[in-house]
Structure 1
Amino acid sequence: MLRRVFLAGSLILVATAASAQSFSLDQVLPPGNGSMSGRMIQMIALLTVLSVAPGLLVMMTSFTRFVVALSFLRSGLGLQGAPANMVLISLSLFMTFYVMGPTFDRAWQDGIRPLTENRISEEEAFAKVTDPFRDFMLTHVRPKDLDTFADIAAAAYPKAQPGSKTDLRVLIPAFMISELRRGFEIGFLIVLPFMVIDMVVAVMVMSMGMMMMPPTVISLPFKVLFFVLIDGWNMLISGLVRSYF
């Protein structure tokens, strides 16, 4: 009998302790308060932005023009692996940070810092962060490309009101097309002198009867020497950066 009473009392104590240590969902997400869910949404949004950050860097900055121009330079020189892709991308990346520095600073001061200090909401922070990039893209986009995508979007999206901000769904692809066009224009100017050297060397090789000798083998040292003598890296990098100022 005493054993049964002792066992029943022990079960009651264990149940009381377990109920005291348990917690309800209301303690984690209090009714009428969305702070925890808001933090969860912020965390998901932050992870999403970090995952697509390389794409955003390509789409909304000067990175596209730089990497296209440097790729044309390597092709014009006839060098397949020098400079390496890592070198070209790193150089383009730091040039992008240099050009986009004022835009990044403005986005940080107006949008990200007030959001981290809980002075503005997420909607206001998104508008203040995207405004500097919108201004940068509007400054360098071709009006023809912008009008083209605006006409395409008019069939699927509501027409923008006069005086409203340009929709990013229209501005970003138009800006990318403009940057690709300017990158190819710069690439043509880069490749042209190297092509002239290739033609001169090819004519000389043919006139000497050296049919089996590839002209590129002879022209490669001359192209590299020509690029070094004119201080090509300084001219190209300074020209690319100054094209935004």
Structure 2
Amino acid sequence: MMDLDFTHPIIQSFLFVTASAFVPLLLVSVTSFTRYVIVLSLLRTALGLQQTPPNIVVISLALFMSVFTMAPVYMDIKGESYDKYQDGMVSQEVAIDNGLSAFSEYLTSQTTEKDYYFVKGLSQDDSNSVDSILPNDLGTLIPAFMLTELKAAFQFAFVIFLPFVLIDLIVASVLMALGMIMLPPISISLPIKILVFVLIDGWTLLVGSLISGF
């Protein structure tokens, strides 16, 4: 059977349209988007703001942070797979293998061995006893990567919550000591938390810390 010519414009257009249907799934499952959007959403809760910034702002910020973070991975995959195939240096099969290898290297670097072994142990095959993360084992790497990202997101959010919880406790204690039990503590602590967050340039620190984690 004759191999498909992936350099043909019609085939490339078909592949692009097909791949675009999986973009939302890939965005959530194999990029840093999940960590970013969870941390940014929980930041609103820590500040006591339910809809500010709006969801569209949180998702857009997480999206562009993910694009910035994943750009080196994309360039590696493009250089090792697509560019070499376009130049005729490798065959289709080798180009696909190179792309998967570069992609699995990124997943491996961001996945803890504990999560990998946990997902691997859920399978029923005989290859569970492995000493290290297997290359190109995407069926195990992707769910393990998502577990690692969820854990990292909630650990990051816990650290964010601590100073704001402390402010809430201090404000509630002061109001109780003054006998102002009818005044909701959130009405006093909210502007204080926003002021502190602005003074420490919280958005810059948060975005920088999240991106540097990759």
Deviation track 1:109-150 (CA, whole Å, cap 9, x = no partner) reads 222334456665543333222222211111121111001111
Q: 1:100 maps to what in 2?
A: 70
SS at match of 1:194: helix
Structure 2, unpaired ranges of 5+: none
Q: 1:230 maps to what in 2?
A: 200
Q: 1:17 maps to what in 2?
A: none
SS at match of 1:100: helix
Amino acid at match of 1:65: R
Is the contact made by 2:80 and 2:102 (CA closer than 8 Å) also made in structure 1? no
**Structure 2 residue 170 is matched with structure 1 residue 200:** yes
Q: 1:210 maps to what in 2?
A: 180
For residues 1-245 of structure 1, the aligned pairs below 5 Å read 45-115=15-85, 120-153=90-123, 155=124, 157=125, 159=127, 165-244=135-214
User: How many angstroms apart in 2 are the aligned matches of 1:72 and 1:159?
Assistant: 39
Structure 1, unpaired ranges of 5+: 1-31
Deviation track 1:150-172 (CA, whole Å, cap 9, x = no partner) reads 1112x0x4628989524101000
1:221 Cα deviation after fit: 0.2
Say if 1:97 and 1:43 are closer, same or farther in 2 by CA, change over 3 A.
closer
Identity of aligned residues (%): 38
Is the contact made by 1:141 and 1:175 (CA closer than 8 Å) also made in structure 2? yes
User: How many angstroms apart in 2 are the aligned matches of 1:109 and 1:72?
Assistant: 37
The total of aligned residue pairs comes to 211
Is the contact made by 1:60 and 1:133 (CA closer than 8 Å) also made in structure 2? no
Say if 1:46 and 1:159 are closer, same or farther in 2 by CA, change over 3 A.
farther
User: How many angstroms apart in 2 are the aligned matches of 1:110 and 1:61?
Assistant: 19
Is the contact made by 1:74 and 1:82 (CA closer than 8 Å) also made in structure 2? yes
| Aligned-residue RMSD, C-alpha | 2.8
Amino acid at match of 1:125: A
Say if 1:67 and 1:33 are closer, same or farther in 2 by CA, change over 3 A.
closer
1:240 Cα deviation after fit: 1.2
TM-score by length of 1: 0.75
Larger Rg: 1
